[in-house]
Amino acid sequence: MMSAHDQNPASHTERNDESTTHFGFQTVDKHEKESKVANVFHSVAQQYDIMNDLMSFGIHRLWKRFTIDASGVRPGNKVLDLAGGTGDLTAKFSQLVGREGKVILADINSSMLNVGRDKLRDKGLVQNIEYVQANAQYLPFEDNTFDVITIAFGLRNVTDKDMALRSMYRVLKPGGRLLVLEFSKPEHELVNKAYDFYSFNILPKMGEIVAKDGDSYQYLAESIRMHPDQETLKSMMEQAGFEQTSFKNLTGGVVALHKGYKF
């Protein structure tokens, strides 16, 4: 079984060759990745929530709750939920920041944004949420705008992660914090092997049966392996300017929450 962390950490690929990047295990031109990732998410948008529950056995809800707890969000805060997809984090943030606060749900993919918007409106959450179709590398906001920025299960799909982190740093207020919730490298080898088997054998089949799209879930498994491990991502955040960076492994390192501040 291929283990990308051992072979080819993503950040190194990006730094070694300026014109190419990875799309799962494939090496593609940078400008090509965006449209390929877009196709994946256009395809899975409608079944995204149900697949999340199935794939993670519902644990993704606890990972997201952990992120909310770590955000320290309070009434009146301005929050950017980047790659917010179907709006799980936005729904909670919207209620916690209250009428005086604001949450921006941003995603590069219009299909995901539409699903998120419909879901949140159905829940009656309309007062303090704005929807923005935006590329994480070129955030269309003024400097020092947000108290909290979260990006949950989105950073690994971004073409140039370093550029995206710099962009997030720019729009974060001094004193604000960035939270990156993302799949990572399991701490124990046994878990790693079981996780590899699950990701490459069961996950694509599950995608084929439920979402009628095995290829997209094959990409999901590959993209997770190509994502930088905990320490690499932490140093990438530091290079982007974030301070007091730290990470917490969740579920044995299958997922990690990285935190960094702008001062």
Annotated binding-site positions for S-adenosyl-L-methionine: 86, 107, 135-136
Q: In this structure, are strands 26-29 and 20-23 parallel, antiparallel, or unpaired?
A: antiparallel
Per CB under 8 A, the list member of 20, 46, 111, 249 interacting with another protein is: 249
Residue 65 CB, nearest approach to another protein (Å): 4
Cα distances (angstroms) measured from residue 46 to each of 108, 111, 135: 16, 8, 21
Residue 175 backbone class (left: φ over 0; alpha: ψ -120 to 50; beta: rest): left
Q: List the interface residues with another protein, window 96-155 (CB under 8 A).
A: 96, 98
Residues 54 and 135: their CA atoms lie apart, in Å, by 28
For residue 257, CA distances in Å to 44, 117, 178, 236 come to 24, 25, 10, 14
| For another protein, the closer CB: 112 or 254 | 254
Q: Which is nearer to another protein, 13 or 251 (CB)?
A: 251
CB of 217 to another protein, least distance (A): 23
Among 4, 55, 152, 254, binds another protein (CB under 8 A): 254
Q: Is 250 in the site for another protein (CB under 8 A)?
A: yes
Question: Does 74 participate in binding another protein (rule CB under 8 A)?
Answer: yes
Under the binding rule (CB under 8 A), the answer on residue 251 touching another protein is yes
Shortest distance in whole angstroms from residue 56 CB to another protein: 12
Q: Which is nearer to another protein, 72 or 140 (CB)?
A: 72
Q: CB under 8 A: which stretch of 14-22, 65-73, 80-88, 217-225 binds another protein?
A: 65-73
Q: What does 135-182 look like in DSSP terms, one character per residue?
A: -GGG--S-TT-EEEEEEES-GGG-S-HHHHHHHHHHHEEEEEEEEEEE
Residues in Cβ contact with 27 at an 8 Å cutoff, skipping those fewer than 6 apart: 13, 20, 21
Give residues in contact with another protein (CB under 8 A). 59, 61-63, 65-66, 68-70, 72, 74-75, 92, 95-96, 98, 248-254
